[in-house]
Structure 1
Amino acid sequence: MSRRNPKGREINGIVLLDKDTGLSSNAALQKVKRLFFAKKAGHTGSLDPLASGILPICLGQATKVAQFLLDDDKRYFVRGKLGQISDTGDCEGKIIQTQVFDHLSKAEVIEAAMSFKGDILQIPPMYSALKKDGQPLYKLARQGIEIERPARPVSIHEINFISYAEGVLTLEVSCSKGTYIRSLIQDIGDKLGCGAHVIELRRTGFAHIDISETITFSQLEQLATHDYQQLDAHIFPSENMLPKIDNICLNAEQVDDIKHGRVVQSDVQDKAYKVKLFDQNQTFLGIGELSADGLIQPKRLFV
């Protein structure tokens, strides 16, 4: 590939990556960034190295909307092993306790899993990217330090039972942002009195995105050409990734004001919420915040 600009290409948009297992989200991000030779890139919410599945990679100015993608719901396929407790909550950690589980019936296991459907309080795992005094919890955990974590409200929208055999529970879970599937499997194990940990995890849904819309890194490598044409065909416009945010079209004067950070008056007067801003040519300008009295405050602009 031609690399005329040593700093990278000015490309904008989102690549829907199907991340492989065994790869950290940051490592996946860096691989995609190098392949596209993008000047700037970021991901929207990390996936554990154990986990595979949807990881939206934002290129260029699309990094400015990453925070808005994070607010959406997720869907996961998960397999949990009963009777074994891991220090990390998954199979990458060390088994620190085993308990009997073969006395449990399939009906009991299903009932325990389904009891977590709805609005619940969940304690985040120590092995997570959450921070305490600026320090990620997983770094403290690696030092053998465990701190108290307050329970946080999350929503489990759906739990679909798939199978249970030989101590392995398989589910599909639809949930709100901030939900830890490792904690969910641990909580199910605790409720059954035998413990549990995740042995397989795959993110199959992200907001309106389905796993069928994604592409693997190896597929991207095969598409790579000297002019990037085939690669760039897999970059989605940022505005397409935010279907739940309403559109507002601005006139030329309003566009000039917004670009200079000034508040503009809209004809829409309803309630306060975020909006996608477009100019008269339907060019996406970024995200604004509309107040109940119709004022639009620029938030994250592509200018």
Structure 2
Amino acid sequence: MSQQPHAFDFETGEVLLLDKPLTWTSFDVVRKVKNTLRIKKIGHAGTLDPLATGLLILCTGKKTKQIDLIQAQEKEYTGTFRLGQTTPSFDLETAVDADLPYAHVTPEQLLAAVQAFTGPIQQTPPLYSAVKINGERAYEVARRGDTAEIKSKEVTIKEFELTGINLPEVQFRVVCTKGTYIRSLARDFGQHLGCGAHLTKLVRTRIGEYRVEDALTLEALEALRPPRREGEETRPPRQPRQRLPEKRAGLEFYQASSPPADSAPADPAS
């Protein structure tokens, strides 16, 4: 169901598929789209972590009424678990806090772990998540160094397969229900194997019938910017600001430990 840009009517209502860039928050993308396309009413149908990429669905106009329906649909992800190391955030947002032996892990044990986490399972969301604790986001608690108890919940892993094994890394594909944390799955997978693990890559490839291969990039989105209406005041061009996603997304460690980019992307509010 590839989208045709010329058919968009954002003010009346559209379901817009976007391929979220790495380190952008879901709110970054919503704000960027809202300002670029001058849309009054817009929201996203399911958050993606800053260190995840892939399908982010935005609804505009009257289609915002479909957000809950879209959020409830099953999700598909691909990515990579790194065995033998754990992090407090269960991904690359925080530094490794434990190194554990993994050479003993056999293909048979990996398959058994996959089977153990297929079907209905109890899962505890990461402390570095948007789950609310006493009215406060859990990641706000975590980033100031405090701890809190988060209740486990039942989610369903409908499909779970390993698509590549090159220890200490394993590649996977997962189809799951709403509310599943793949970072928590990485943590639990490593605990089951007795070697620990954390998530190093995550791509959301599908939500229900919507697929990432049909999504627009933010660069392609720029081409959809509507012309100014006749008589509308033209503002002088402004200098693009540098994005500092680590200050909003809590990515200080990730940004510091990653190779420097050739150039910083434009501020999402531009």
Confirm or deny a common fold (TM above 0.5).
yes
| 1:11–1:38 CA contact under 8 A, matched in 2 | no
Alignment of 1:245-260 (within 5 A): none
| 2:37–2:226 CA contact under 8 A, matched in 1 | no
* CA distance in structure 1 between the aligned counterparts of 2:98 and 2:157, rounded to whole angstroms: 27
Quote the offset at 1:223 in angstroms: 4.5
Which residue of 2 is the match for residue 155 of structure 1?
156
The structure whose RCO (Cα within 8 Å, separation 6+) is larger is 2
* CA distance in structure 1 between the aligned counterparts of 2:52 and 2:58, rounded to whole angstroms: 16
Secondary structure of the residue that 1:174 maps to in structure 2? strand
Which residue of 2 is the match for residue 67 of structure 1?
68
* CA distance in structure 2 between the aligned counterparts of 1:206 and 1:37, rounded to whole angstroms: 26
| 1:124–1:151 CA contact under 8 A, matched in 2 | yes
| 1:84–1:195 CA contact under 8 A, matched in 2 | yes
The superposition leaves residues 156-190 of structure 1 with CA deviations (integer Å, 9 ceiling, x where unpaired) of: 00012201103101100000001000000110000
Q: Does 1:164 align with 2:165?
A: yes
Which residue of 1 is the match for residue 129 of structure 2?
128
Which residue of 1 is the match for residue 101 of structure 2?
100
The superposition leaves residues 37-96 of structure 1 with CA deviations (integer Å, 9 ceiling, x where unpaired) of: 101211111100100111111112322221221111100002010011011110121111
* Unaligned residue ranges in structure 1 (runs of 5+): 1-8, 229-303
Secondary structure of the residue that 1:77 maps to in structure 2? strand
Secondary structure of the residue that 2:97 maps to in structure 1? strand
Q: Does 1:181 align with 2:182?
A: yes
* CA distance in structure 2 between the aligned counterparts of 1:126 and 1:210, rounded to whole angstroms: 29
Which residue of 1 is the match for residue 147 of structure 2?
146
* CA distance in structure 1 between the aligned counterparts of 2:170 and 2:207, rounded to whole angstroms: 23
* CA distance in structure 2 between the aligned counterparts of 1:59 and 1:223, rounded to whole angstroms: 14
**Paired amino acid for 1:75:** E
Normalised by the length of structure 2, the TM-score is 0.78
Counterparts in 2 of 1:100 and 1:193: CA distance versus 1, 3 Å: same
Which residue of 2 is the match for residue 87 of structure 1?
88
Count, aligned residues: 220
The superposition leaves residues 174-229 of structure 1 with CA deviations (integer Å, 9 ceiling, x where unpaired) of: 0000100000011000001111110000000101112222111112224545379x
Which residue of 1 is the match for residue 200 of structure 2?
199
Secondary structure of the residue that 2:36 maps to in structure 1? helix
* CA distance in structure 1 between the aligned counterparts of 2:156 and 2:198, rounded to whole angstroms: 20
Aligned-residue CA RMSD in angstroms? 1.6
| 2:78–2:204 CA contact under 8 A, matched in 1 | yes
Which residue of 1 is the match for residue 210 of structure 2?
209
Secondary structure of the residue that 1:95 maps to in structure 2? coil
**Paired amino acid for 1:199:** T
Which residue of 1 is the match for residue 21 of structure 2?
20
Which residue of 1 is the match for residue 117 of structure 2?
116
* CA distance in structure 2 between the aligned counterparts of 1:21 and 1:41, rounded to whole angstroms: 21
Which residue of 1 is the match for residue 235 of structure 2?
none
Alignment of 1:222-261 (within 5 A): 222-224=223-225, 226=227
* Unaligned residue ranges in structure 2 (runs of 5+): 1-9, 230-270
Identity over aligned pairs, percent = 35
Quote the offset at 1:155 in angstroms: 0.3
The superposition leaves residues 261-303 of structure 1 with CA deviations (integer Å, 9 ceiling, x where unpaired) of: xxxxxxxxxxxxxxxxxxxxxxxxxxxxxxxxxxxxxxxxxxx
* CA distance in structure 1 between the aligned counterparts of 2:11 and 2:209, rounded to whole angstroms: 27
Quote the offset at 1:11 in angstroms: 4.0
Q: Which runs of 4+ in 1 moved over 6 A?
A: none
The superposition leaves residues 228-259 of structure 1 with CA deviations (integer Å, 9 ceiling, x where unpaired) of: 9xxxxxxxxxxxxxxxxxxxxxxxxxxxxxxx
* CA distance in structure 2 between the aligned counterparts of 1:21 and 1:111, rounded to whole angstroms: 32
Normalised by the length of structure 1, the TM-score is 0.69
The superposition leaves residues 94-127 of structure 1 with CA deviations (integer Å, 9 ceiling, x where unpaired) of: 1111101012122222321232000111111111
